[in-house]
Structure 1
Amino acid sequence: MTGEVRAAERSARRAARSTPVRVGARIGIAAYGLTHLLVAWLALQVAFTGSRERADQTGAFQAIIQQPFGRLLLWALVVAFAAVALWRLEEAIWGFSYEEGRTTKLRLRATSAGKAVIFAVLAVLAARTAAGGGGGGGQQQATAGLLGLPAGQFVVGAVGIGIVATGVGTVVSGVRTSFRRGMSLPSDRRARQVALRSGQIGFVGKGVAIGIVGVLVVIAAIRFEPQEAGLDAALHALAAQPFGQYLLGAVALGLLAYGVFCFFDARYHRV
């Protein structure tokens, strides 16, 4: 039985490391950048035109499906996001064997596991939108479900604190350019600088957005109001603050930079 399990494990590992999966992962990373460009555009509209459009991944998918061949493009994104999820899952299980420190290896594997979940969720949301089922309210529905559990408010509050910590970590990663660790950056000096600067600005901008989402999740737990959770709620809440349109505009530019960085990441990440 042990031999069969090992054979199955080797087969799964080969499949996750296959050329189609790796090519699909690069396309998926680039697609992730595209969705961030769209979210940035939607956020700028919220900031400066008062638009009530959804400024999150769901809003980006809805914008895509309204374009010619948009439904076909969304299905292609589903496949690409699934490829990234599979690649990240392979990293979470077998990756980073070259790292000597056990703690570092565990941290990197945990990070990859989290990213695998993110891209799996994106694949599901894109599929739901492409199938005509919409995809809105995912964050709010999840929050509402957790709030309905025993001690749900404490669970949601803890999740919110974890999201805030993730946002802070993302900002720190941008400031220290630690995101470059998994990349083989180009030798061309100009391209290298653009990749690094877009990554720095993008990680800081995205980290701020994630941090605001975390704060709103904590508030949702305290007030028992799940509709206050999510990226869309966070960006609209930011726009409602004094000088909010400028703050939201700055965050949108950060998300725009992150989208640009994803195109470099798709090309130069070690996949």
Structure 2
Amino acid sequence: MGDQGDDLGEKADELGRRADNSDTVDHAVRFGLVVYGLVYLLVAWLIVQLALGERRGSVSTKGALKEVAEQPFGDVLLVVVAVGMVVLVLWRLLDLFVGHRDEEGADLWRGRGADLLKSAIYGFLGWKAFGLATESSSSGGTKVLTARIMDLPMGRVLVGAIGLAIVGYGVVNLWKGLSNKHREHLAHEGRSGNAGSAYLLLGKVGYVSKGLVVGLVGALFVYAAITHEPKDSSGVDGAVREILHQPFGTPLLVAVGLGIASYGLFDLARARHLSR
């Protein structure tokens, strides 16, 4: 039995490695990254609209998906978004189990942790898209969810921990942009020449901007836990509106919108010059 179990494990690992190196997986991942990049471009457009006083609805990925739903064949487009996110979830899970072959110790677990986190992010976005397409999306948003968590035993501690985790994810994005770590997401040809320099600049600006917004979202969660006010945790929409209320809020928010657009464009460049 032991030898059979080892043989099955080796066969499963070999199948996983073949899938990881297949052209079909490459094409599927490229498709998912294009979808993801377009969603971020739409979020950026909503942020700039808000900065210019032309937006009252939610400024977030959910708001972006609602914009998609309002277009001709919106339900079909939402299903396309959901499929793209499912592809990215499967890619990150595949990387979790058969990737990181040259890593060990802390680097290995850090990479696997990143795979799990990204799988959750892609999965959440895909679930939202599918829910809107089938008109089964839950209402209430972040504030309602935070209130429900706070009603649990140790709920405020849990909300605070979620906030700190979100802040940590923001810091990771900020560090990735400032340290040029995002270079690793592009194949060699995507880092070469004038086009490569432009892609890398988009990535730097995009990751820094995303990191700042995500960090602010996490900070609002922590503040909600401290004040016991679920309304203070209002996700990306609340974070960008908080920026708008600051001195020079309008130009700051326009800059943030352009930064998020840079992140979306970098995802499109990444889809073209995929490095796995």
TM-score normalized with structure 2 length:
0.89
Alignment pair present for 1:69 and 2:106: no
For the 8 Å contact 1:24–1:83, the answer to whether it is kept is yes
What residue is the counterpart of 2:121 in the other structure?
118
Encode CA deviations 1:23-71: one digit per residue, 9 max, x unaligned.
2221111111111111111011111115212111111111111112221
Question: Aligned to 1:104, which of 100, 104, 107?
Answer: 107
Change (3 A) 1:162 1:108: same
**TM alignment of 1:88-167, pairs within 5 A:** 88-99=92-103, 101-134=104-137, 137-167=140-170
Instruction: Give aligned-pair identity as a percent.
Output: 34
The aligned amino acid for 2:121 is I
The aligned amino acid for 1:157 is G
Encode CA deviations 1:195-235: one digit per residue, 9 max, x unaligned.
10000000011011001101111111122222332111111
255-264 vs 177-186, which deviates more? 177-186
How many Å separate the matches in 1 of 2:244 and 2:147?
24
Question: Aligned to 1:59, which of 35, 56, 63?
Answer: 63
The aligned amino acid for 1:249 is V
How many Å separate the matches in 2 of 1:55 and 1:20?
35
The aligned amino acid for 2:73 is F
How many Å separate the matches in 2 of 1:168 and 1:212?
10
What residue is the counterpart of 1:236 in the other structure?
241
Structure 1, unaligned runs of 5 or more: none
Structure 2, unaligned runs of 5 or more: none
For the 8 Å contact 1:126–1:135, the answer to whether it is kept is no
TM-score normalized with structure 1 length:
0.91
What residue is the counterpart of 2:223 in the other structure?
219
How many Å separate the matches in 1 of 2:11 and 2:125?
27
Offset, 1:22: 3.5
Secondary structure of the 2:132 match is helix
How many Å separate the matches in 2 of 1:184 and 1:69?
35
Offset, 1:138: 4.1
What residue is the counterpart of 1:49 in the other structure?
53
Change (3 A) 1:137 1:247: farther
How many Å separate the matches in 1 of 2:91 and 2:35?
15
11-20 vs 72-81, which deviates more? 11-20
For the 8 Å contact 1:88–1:112, the answer to whether it is kept is yes
Alignment pair present for 1:255 and 2:250: no
Encode CA deviations 1:163-222: one digit per residue, 9 max, x unaligned.
112212211110111012243132640110111000000001101100110111111112
For the 8 Å contact 1:21–1:86, the answer to whether it is kept is no
Offset, 1:270: 2.2
How many Å separate the matches in 2 of 1:220 and 1:9?
45
Number of residues of Structure 1 aligned to a counterpart in Structure 2: 270
How many Å separate the matches in 2 of 1:15 and 1:132?
38
What residue is the counterpart of 1:267 in the other structure?
272
For the 8 Å contact 1:198–1:258, the answer to whether it is kept is yes
